Amino acid sequence: MVGRVVGLIVVLVSVFEALALAAGSRSILRVIESGVAGDAAVDLNATNFDSVLKETPASFAIVEFFAHWCPACRNYKPHFEKVARVFNGPAAAHPGMVLMARVDCALKINSKLCDNFSVTHYPMLLWGPPSKFGSGWKPKQDKSDLILIEDGRTADRLLGWINKQLGSSYGLDDEKFENDHLMSNASDPEQITKAIYDIEEATYTAFDIITEHKMIKPETRGSMITFLQLLVAHHPSRRCRKGSAEILVNFDDIYPSTSLVNLDSQPLDKEMLGNLRICGKDVPIGYWMFCRGSRNDTRGFSCGLWVLLHSLSVRVEDAESQFAFKATCEFIHNFFICEECRQHFYEMCSSVSNPFTKSRDFALWLWEAHNKVNERLMKEEASLDTTDPKFPKIVWPPKQLCSSCSSIHSQKNSATKRIEWNKDEVFKFLSDYYGKKLVSLYKDKDSFQGNKTGAHAAEEAPVATSAISVPVGAALAIAVTCCAFGALAWLWRSQQKNRKPRRIYN
């Protein structure tokens, strides 16, 4: 009971923290679409230029400065687009490498921006790390990280120039997943930092599936509210915490309660739902980085969802551990659309007889559950020859990631070997891997760019559950809305008493 009360307090404070942030400007996530349907290059202007370049996961960027009235620019656009499709968009063969963007200098809104980059001819292409575009560019500038591209007049020549810079051999005909630029997450612990983008996409995809298949029903409505509360408090991405809070506050309008309407017969408020995206409006699709498989049908969403669950498990406090366990189990049981996987997870949840009192125990249970799933899939994939050759299922973590987590012992009178786990070391690894390292990308970018305050890094850090500061201006709103939440909670509990609850735990 105490855990649930603490969890509710954390969620309420986090909701108002997220709502207070919503009052400010909404940062633009990794934009991969422009104003013209079908364009792969990103249209930038003075209002979104800095935010897009700061938030992109790409290692490098090419910005084309052009004028829409310029005949040469119109003729060059198809060439630029050919290269952009290699790196940008859901069908990109090499996502996350180069952000291809353009700025129309003929628009008055961009006059100062183009002056800041000394644009004297059209089209003009600049190359460099995205973070370095914030300071502008001048010809013959000493020690500039931005390079003027002078040999990119055709798609072949531009891509050849990029390949020379990167030491790569990308081609205009490369197709998605048919390349060897894949992360080897089994050997490099730092690659988990890129997974923050995959967690955002996995969160978006999960809720898109739930909406598309109309999976929120009277009997599953409570489970959705509980999981949203968990996301508001502990999702590693501030954007997703904020989006979860907005959906939670508007939940009764989007999904009316059973006392007001029959959910199966009444259409949902799709306009409101479209305006409230779980992680913002610009989450790209098919942009898997850490979770990318070597084939189109491997990894991706399932990997991203596992990383999300592990990241939640290492962020909860002891008093919230049972709440987080039940929220996770009910979410998978009610909303994960793969029947066999859902049933297996349900069985593992049902086998837990004693409530969790320590967050460590919940994190280790989820780790053991993941390994059980991997062991099951290893056998199935081996028999059906469906294994991803570059990312086969393994007992995790491997020695390359955590040498102190396990030791291998030979079985007597048997050729098989037994893994003995040091759970203290495993928990340390989980906490560091899915906790500190997972959000360190933001901190690294802050120090690298040198133009963000420490407050921005704090915004992306996990929400603390022991001491949360709330803006003074939001105090009155918190008091009023807490009363509303109390009324909603009372109403929901009253409804629950009128029907037999569906338990999935022993």
User: For the segment 186-239, what is each residue's pLDDT rounded down to a tens digit?
Assistant: 556 777 877 888 899 899 999 988 888 888 888 899 999 999 999 999 999 988
What is the reported pLDDT for 22? Answer: 39
Tokens coding 94: 């090499």
Question: Looking at per-residue confidence, does 244 or 484 come out higher?
Answer: 244
Residue 476 has pLDDT above 70, yes or no: no
Exposure class string for 80-118: b at 16+ Cβ within 10 A, else e? bbbbbbbbbbeebbbbbbbbbbbbbbeeeebeebbebbb
Q: Where are the beta strands (DSSP E) in 238-304?
A: none
Q: How many CA atoms lie within 13 A of 171 on its CB side?
A: 6
User: For the segment 18-50, what is each residue's pLDDT rounded down to a tens digit?
Assistant: 444 433 323 333 333 334 546 889 999 999 999
Q: Residues 350, 388: one domain?
A: yes
Percentage of residues in the chain with pLDDT exceeding 70? 69
Could you say which of 409, 430, 448 is where a domain stops? 409
Q: Residues 334, 388: one domain?
A: yes
What is the reported pLDDT for 423? Answer: 95
Q: Residues 131, 91: one domain?
A: yes
Q: Residues 249, 338: one domain?
A: yes
Q: Does the active-site annotation cover 73?
A: yes
Residue 268 has pLDDT above 80, yes or no: no
Residue 390 lies in a domain: yes
Residue 287 lies in a domain: yes
Residue 412 has pLDDT above 90, yes or no: no
Q: Residues 245, 352: one domain?
A: yes
What's the one-letter identity of residue 244?
S
Question: Looking at per-residue confidence, does 119 or 464 come out higher?
Answer: 119
CATH at 108: 3.40.30.10
Q: Residues 67, 132: one domain?
A: yes
CATH at 196: 1.20.120.310
Residue 241 lies in a domain: yes
> Which domain covers residue 325, as residue numbers?
191-258+271-409
Q: From CA 233, how far away is CA 255, in angstroms rounded?
A: 21
* Dihedral (Cα; 247, 252, 255, 259), 10-degree rounding: 160
| Closest alpha carbon to 29 in 310, 243, 235 | 243
Those residues with Cβ within 8 angstroms of residue 178's Cβ, 6 or more apart along the chain or in another chain: 93
Q: Residues 141, 229: one domain?
A: no
Q: From CA 481, how far away is CA 450, in angstroms rounded?
A: 38
Residue 494 lies in a domain: no
* Rounded average pLDDT over 441-459: 41
Q: Residues 102, 203: one domain?
A: no
Q: From CA 337, how far away is CA 215, in angstroms rounded?
A: 9
Question: Looking at per-residue confidence, does 360 or 262 come out higher?
Answer: 360
Could you say which of 379, 394, 409 is where a domain stops? 409
What is the reported pLDDT for 117? Answer: 94
What is the reported pLDDT for 443? Answer: 52
Indicate which residue of 73, 240, 279, 402 is catalytic. Answer: 73
- Per the CB < 8 A criterion, the answer to whether 227 and 327 are in contact is yes
Residues paired with 247 in a beta bridge? none
Q: Residues 207, 336: one domain?
A: yes
Confidence of residue 389 (pLDDT cuts 50, 70, 90): confident
- What average pLDDT does the structure give for the chain? 76
Question: Looking at per-residue confidence, does 241 or 458 come out higher?
Answer: 241
What is the reported pLDDT for 408? Answer: 79
Residue 124 lies in a domain: yes
User: For the segment 170-197, what is each residue's pLDDT rounded down to a tens digit?
Assistant: 899 877 644 344 455 555 677 787 788 8
Residue 471 lies in a domain: no
Question: Cα 311–313–319 angle (5° rounding)?
Answer: 140
Residue 465 lies in a domain: no
Residue 52 lies in a domain: yes
What is the reported pLDDT for 410? Answer: 63
For strands 124-128 and 406-410, give the pairing: unpaired
- Per the CB < 8 A criterion, the answer to whether 228 and 244 are in contact is yes
Q: From CA 397, how far away is CA 188, in angstroms rounded?
A: 12
Q: Residues 154, 229: one domain?
A: no
* Rounded average pLDDT over 393-415: 80
Element at 419 (helix H, strand E) = strand 417-421
Residues paired with 418 in a beta bridge? 409
Those residues with Cβ within 8 angstroms of residue 426's Cβ, 6 or more apart along the chain or in another chain: 364, 367, 397, 402, 405, 406
Q: From CA 495, how far away is CA 471, in angstroms rounded?
A: 34
Tokens coding 315: 């962020």
- Beta carbons within 10 angstroms of residue 306's beta carbon: 19
Residue 71 has pLDDT above 90, yes or no: no
Q: From CA 384, how far away is CA 219, in angstroms rounded?
A: 37
Q: Residues 335, 395: one domain?
A: yes
Q: Residues 137, 76: one domain?
A: yes
Could you say which of 379, 409, 439 is where a domain stops? 409
Q: What total of structural domains would you count in the chain?
A: 2
What's the one-letter identity of residue 256?
P
